[in-house]
Amino acid sequence: MKKVAIFRHARTEGPGYFATVLDRRGIPWQVVKLDEGELAPADPSAFAGLAFMGGPMSVNDDLPWIPPVLDLIRAARTAEVPMLGHCLGGQLMAKALGGAVTANRVKEIGWGDCVLEPGPEAQRWFGHAAPKFLSFHWHGETFSIPPGATRVLASAHCSNQAFALGPHLGLQCHIEMTENLIRVWCRGGRREIEAAKDSPGVQAPVDIQRDLDTRVAALHAVAEAVYERWLENLKR
């Protein structure tokens, strides 16, 4: 079987629980370390699927790896290679597919409910979690819904939390989180949290890490079902 390519944009923002799900199902995968200078492949058909993780940069930044990744996303849509985007990854997908990425009205850092939109696409991807689920968030920008796609999730601080387009799913929220990832982000992001502490969407590290095992276990249950749905469309 072909591998799933997982694109990493920052060392601390790896595949997390997504890799655990792939390993449990015996699905091969490889990390493309864009943060270390690895090049994005030109041909998406070499892979069973493409997954794009998060990162602290903006898709609107002048970074050398962004245009090739946007080209890859467009090529993957044409080739019907399934794509999955987490936060920055969802923003990359949205921009490549004709949407826009702009500042969100507030920063959103910590735990918050994602609410399912009405309609069959939201049910197809997240019906097991209806009408809402607690997800993890860490972003200051947001995407618009690209042409032809359907909004499937929203939150109190961000109207566009996820979009679906056939076999492709772009997420603003982070369903891939593990306890360790959250602790690492809280340590590394203390200054960002402190600078944005007056935002209604930002929680203190102590609050983010409260009842962490219970919250992460519930998030894993949601993520596993979403990933299972996505895996159904892999190019084998």
Beta-carbon count within 10 A of 183 CB = 14
Predicted local distance difference test score (pLDDT) of residue 197 = 87
Of 181, 187, 186, 188, residue with least CA distance to 220: 181
Please, are residues 233 and 2 in contact by the beta-carbon 8 Å criterion? no
Q: Would residue 206 count as lying in a domain?
A: yes
Residue 236 lies in a domain: no
153 belongs to a structural domain = yes
Cα distance between residue 125 and residue 118, in whole Å:
12
Domain membership of residue 119 (yes or no) is: yes
Is 15 part of a structural domain of the chain?
yes
In a domain, 129, yes or no: yes
Q: Compute CA distances 130 → 24, 100, 198, whole Å.
A: 25, 28, 30
Domain containing residue 186: CATH number = 3.40.50.880
pLDDT in the model for residue 198: 87
Is 8 a member of any domain?
yes
Q: In the structure encoding, which two tokens stand for residue 71, read together?
A: 């080209």
**In tens digits, what is the pLDDT along the chain, a chain of 236 residues?**
899 999 999 999 999 999 999 999 999 999 999 999 999 999 999 999 999 999 999 999 999 999 999 999 999 999 999 999 999 999 999 999 999 999 999 999 999 999 999 999 999 999 999 999 999 999 999 999 999 999 999 999 999 999 999 999 999 999 999 999 999 999 999 999 999 988 999 999 999 999 999 999 999 999 999 999 999 999 88
* Domain span at 22: 4-231
Residue 81 CA to residue 74 CA, distance in Å, equals 10
- Tokens coding 225: 């079902």
Any idea what DSSP says for residue 141? E
3-state helix, strand, coil in the chain (%, to 5): 35, 25, 35
- 3-state SS assignment for residue 90: helix
Count: domains in the chain: 1
Q: Which amino acid, one-letter code, is at 202?
A: V
Residue 135 · residue 172 · CB < 8 Å: no
